[in-house]
Amino acid sequence: MAVIPWTAVSTPHDGVNVKLIKWLALAANDTGQPFNVAAYSDKTVQLVGTFGGNVLIEGSLDPDGAVYTTLADPQGNALSGIASVRIENILEHCYLLRPNAGAGVSAVDVWLLLSSTR
């Protein structure tokens, strides 16, 4: 039941238009520290690790992060109940984004690729 901090990953493409973020080793009932994604039009998430339970991807328009909602992929499928390795685009634009691990999850890494055409 911890809040797992995000870490920025250095890449040769870093800059105002590209950012790579990771949350490492989410376990049962952990949430990721929210990351501000408001400036990025395109968001892709990859989940890898030992699941044993479900992970969901949540977003919020509340700058204080008091209320979160499960996000969806471009086909409208909720990014919830994720129990295996997966890469998904994220449909909605939100202010904050975080992963949320359910019961049974033992060690899942979540990577977030952000890009913008500004």
The structural domain count of the chain equals 1
Tell me: the pLDDT tens digits for 10-25?
Answer: 888 877 789 999 999 9
Give me the domain span that covers residue 62: 26-105
Beta-carbon contacts of residue 95 (< 8 Å; ≥ 6 apart): 36, 37, 38, 59, 60, 61, 62, 63
2 within some domain: no
**Does a structural domain hold residue 21?**
no
In a domain? residue 67: yes
pLDDT in tens, 80-104: 999 999 999 999 999 999 999 999 9
Q: From CA 15, how far away is CA 71, in angstroms rounded?
A: 26
**Beta bridge partners of residue 26, listed in sequence order:** 108
Q: Quote the CA–CA distance of 3 and 49 in Å, as a whole number.
A: 18
Q: Is 86 a domain residue?
A: yes
Look at residue 19 and tell me if it is in a domain: no
CA angle 11/63/1 to nearest 5° reads: 75
C-beta of residue 32 within 8 angstroms of C-beta of residue 110: yes
Question: How much is the pLDDT for 1?
Answer: 83
| C-alpha closest to that of 88 among 100, 104, 73, 103 | 73
Across the range 63-75, mean pLDDT stands at: 96
**Is a pLDDT exceeding 60 seen at residue 118?**
no
Residue 46, domain member (yes or no) = yes
- Residue 34, domain member (yes or no): yes
The verdict on residue 69 lying in a domain is yes
